[in-house]
Amino acid sequence: MHIEPERHRTPFISLTPLIDVVFILLVFFMLATRFGQFYDLPVNVQPADSINKPDDKWLVIEVEADGDLNLNGVSFTPDAVADRLDTQKSKVWVTVSADATLQQALAAVDAIKAAGVKDVQLELLP
């Protein structure tokens, strides 16, 4: 009786599952990645006891719940802030009511800075 010696076959590794996993990871990272620009917002946080209250040199503008701004009892939109600001006043104190969103407050600060005001303080009311 003739018995052939056992041949060593090299194992066959299929790459199909590996390619599937790599493709799924690629799709996941493409969908999870955000391609927009991120903007940094410089924030100087001070302790509550060291905050200076606005004096006569500051214009106090309030951000209301609907996003409108209020200066001396007159309500206006952030688009009209350049018409309302006194050009001699270079400091603006912005107070944000509790009902206003952070996006509305930042839109107001951006509009005030676009109007040429260099010093803007933001106060969030509880």
Domains of the chain: total: 1
Each residue's pLDDT, cut to its tens digit, for the chain (126 residues) gives 677 777 777 778 888 999 999 999 999 999 988 877 777 666 666 665 555 666 666 777 888 888 888 877 778 887 777 777 765 556 777 777 767 888 888 888 888 888 877 777 777 766
Q: Residue 1 domain-assigned?
A: no
Task: List the CATH number of the domain containing 102.
Answer: 3.30.420
Whole-Å CA distances, 85 to 53, 60, 118:
20, 10, 13
**Rounded distance between C-alpha atoms, residue 29 and residue 112, angstroms:** 39
Residue 101 within a domain: yes
List Cα–Cα distances, 105 to 97, 110, 121, in angstroms. 9, 9, 11
Alpha helices for 4-126 (secondary structure H): 16-32, 81-84, 102-114
Going by DSSP bridges, is the β-strand pair 58-63/74-76 parallel, antiparallel, or unpaired? unpaired
* Per-residue pLDDT, 24: 96
